[in-house]
Amino acid sequence: MIFIGTTLRTLPPNNQRHAMCVADGWDFTHNENHWSNFETTKHFVEIVMVPYHQFQIKSFGLQMVVNYWNVHNS
């Protein structure tokens, strides 16, 4: 969830409900207008997507495979 504001005070209070949400995998961040931007997208990828991807690879016993095609350099 992206909240509007420039400081951590804009996030929900750090109480039992907040802890339950975090334990369930919720992620809270903030920026000046509550819209996704480069920083919030980067945060999402690092905090949510990468750990989820790594968990799925491990849980299915897969190996990480990166395909590199020359066409991507165009």
Q: What pLDDT does 63 receive?
A: 82
Distance CA 64, CA 57 (A): 7
Top-confidence residue, 72 or 27: 27
Read off the pLDDT band of 25 (50, 70, 90). confident
pTM, two decimal places: 0.64
Per-residue pLDDT at 16 exceeds 90? yes
Share of the chain above pLDDT 70, in %: 86
Per-residue pLDDT at 74 exceeds 60? no
Distance CA 50, CA 40 (A): 14
